[in-house]
Amino acid sequence: MSSSTPMPEIRVFPTAEEAEISVAAELGAQLRAAPASVLGLATGNSMIGVYRELVRLHRDEGLSFAGMTSFNLDEYCGLVADDPSSFAAYMHLHLFDLVDADTSKLHLPDGNSAEAGAAYEASITAAGGIELQLLGIGRNGHIGFNEPGSPQNSRTRIVELAQRTREVNAADFPPGAEVPHHAVTMGIATILDSRRIILLATGAAKAEALADAMSGAVRPENPASFLQTHPRVTLVCDEAAAALLPAQLRG
């Protein structure tokens, strides 16, 4: 990381649960301060705890999602929306159906349309852009489904999933089911257009990719490294994911 590169804010928690609760608190604070916020949402195992806490905040503390507009990062190609392995089903299971969200304001990219990318970009622009984007990181450094090799100027598009990604994600599909080979994802440039980004990383399996993304060269081989160029990135992680971060980054 060069001296001219903006330094991310890094918060390290002893456990994954504490990191997830912290991220939920940030999202909750955003919605309380600006109920009509446009949020970029993510899926994956590390996000389940975030959404669990957001549901608790809605139930116990009156946090409202009624004014929120959301755009999800990605979706598999070839799955119908109610397929239990789709990200649409994930979002309804873990968040949308458990809070007072307006279904007309909840957007996921269409994995079954070749024209989905341009339409999704237009919808984000029409909504005023994403104010706060939630991200995870893959073991190979992918953000969204921007696999290694994704260029910095990429926009929402259909991509081929890396074999490693498909192997990791096989756990989210029924035994013996084939993981789709393609997905539609926001591009790197789409993500970087967000006014603020929160990257959540938990578990030792993410440590190598995370350290390289935050302190290595900015390059397509680790797509998350492009986050170094964004002026407002907050990294929230547990000790296991932070294990390989350079000491100067941890403060």
Q: Which residues are catalytic?
A: 74, 140, 142, 147
- Could you give the CA distance from residue 159 to residue 163 in angstroms, rounded to a whole number? 12
- Could you give the CA distance from residue 36 to residue 34 in angstroms, rounded to a whole number? 6
Sheet arrangement for strand 182-185: 74-76, 182-185, 157-160
β-pairing verdict for 132-135 and 9-13: unpaired
Match 């980054």 to its residue by tokens.
Answer: 249
Residues linked to residue 197 through DSSP beta bridges, in sequence order: 133, 233
Q: In the structure encoding, which two tokens stand for residue 76, read together?
A: 């598999």
Give the three-state DSSP class for 176: coil
Element (H, E) at 199: strand 196-201
Residues linked to residue 38 through DSSP beta bridges, in sequence order: 69
Cβ–Cβ under 8 Å, residues 94 and 58: no
- φ/ψ (deg, to 5) at 182: -135, 155
Match 């852009």 to its residue by tokens.
Answer: 129
Q: Which is nearest to 69 in space by CA: 115, 22, 129? A: 129
